[in-house]
Amino acid sequence: MRTESCPHELTEPNCPDRPRLLLTLGDIAGIGPEIVARVCVDPQLSQQCRPMVVGEPTILERALQLIGSTVRVRSVEDPAAFEQINGSEILCWNPLDEPQSVSLRTVKLGTLDGRAGRAAYEWLGAAARAALASTVDAIVTAPLNKAALHLAGLDYPGHTEILADCCGTPNHAMMLFVPPGEIVRSPHGLGVAHVTLHTSVASVPGLLSIDGVEEKIRLVDDFLRQVSVGRPRIGVCALNPHGGESGLFGDEEQRLIAPAVARAAADRIAVEGPVPADALFRRALAGEFDGVVAMYHDQGHIPIKLVARDAAVNITLGLPIVRTSPSHGTAFDIAGQGKASAQGMNEAIRVAIALSTNRTTIAQTDTGPRAS
């Protein structure tokens, strides 16, 4: 686990000041158990936080065997049992009942299975409730599979929507966050949020609204302020090529996006847009912006994943809890092969530690005028 830029450097494994993190296994047919196992066996993890896995202990044990580790798994009945931790064990909390847990042991790796989808959903909900109760400081989630959720009869497109429902948060957004460094020249890193998310490209224009775009601008501004960016600089993407060319390629820029930007700017938010996405991301990566608001999933994901790969961390904005995740998926094609990289999970843990250490909430709490 990388530690050089972690703000919570500690050397005593049982120091009570370390953030308490729950790590969910995600969809067990994918690489989630393997990447969780890899980060948990790194001794530096327990120097920076108090981790506990949320999932089926036998699945975690199987993942540990896959990576050649002899670290023991100890089952706990209470997510508050962090004081029991020692360096030779991984604590694992499974809130599922015994029949459901036993059934999971026959899920085949690399396959869609409603049982895996249901378990990932239940583990996520349990972790979120523990965070809402302040039993833990943050949750870090391994990838789940959207098709597996649907096989389980769950009408959710992903983590973001499940968490928003669980937390009762109507105003929320997915952000891909890249820490500062060689990839992003801004001293604060770069956060990219999305106005629309898990929906078809064809449906995007009809889902955009002035209020919706403004809400995401405010969520990005609020998040960046909470992580000590004094006056965040935010760029807002156009929807259409070349910004619509004055209506020749579409009028969403003039009709919806520009009015939302004007509203936010009137409240002293440092925002610019709509700017064609190709130009905006080039400027953002060069350090001109701290945050970007994209209109749809791939508009924000493709450039960030292209340049940052696993360094990008998924953060859910607008929640009263801290939640991060790797930016990659379940990778069914390499599940069980022992070659999954834990870099994304490591980065997600580092960001979760920073957020839980430096602030108490990532929810938008201040809609009053911004200081200039």
Beta-carbon contacts of residue 248 (< 8 Å; ≥ 6 apart): none
CA distances from 301 to 143, 312, 367 (A): 16, 10, 28
pLDDT at 82: 80
In DSSP terms, 237 is beta-bridged to 275
Tokens at 208, concatenated: 């955009």
Helices (H) and strands (E) in the chain, counts: 14, 12
Pick from 244-248, 337-341, 350-354: least confident: 244-248
Residue 84: how many other CB atoms lie within 10 Å: 12
* pTM for this entry: 0.87
Distance CA 44, CA 145 (A): 29
Q: Give the CATH class of 173-315.
A: alpha beta
- For the segment 290-294, the average pLDDT, to the nearest whole number, is 97
CATH code, 1-170+318-362 = 3.40.718.10
Which residues of the chain does CATH 3.40.718.10 include?
A: 1-170+318-362, 173-315
pLDDT at 45 over 50: yes
List Cβ neighbours of 77 (8 Å cut-off, separation of 6 or more). 93
Lowest-confidence segment of 33-42, 109-118, 178-187, 300-309 by average pLDDT: 178-187
The residue that leads in pLDDT, 244 or 53, is 53
State the pLDDT at residue 311: 86
What tens digit of pLDDT does each residue of 70-102 get? 999 999 999 998 876 666 799 999 999 999 999
Return d(Cα 258, Cα 277) in angstroms, integer: 14
- Report whether pLDDT(364) > 50: no
Tokens of 179: 């820490």
Sorting pLDDT into bands at 50, 70 and 90, what band is 20? very high
Q: Is the pLDDT of residue 4 over 50?
A: no
Assign 3 a pLDDT band (cuts: 50, 70, 90): very low
Sorted by sequence, the CB contacts under 8 Å of residue 134 that are 6+ apart come out as none
Please, are residues 355 and 322 in contact by the beta-carbon 8 Å criterion?
Answer: yes
Q: Which of 190-199, 270-279, 293-302, 305-314 has the lowest mean pLDDT?
A: 305-314
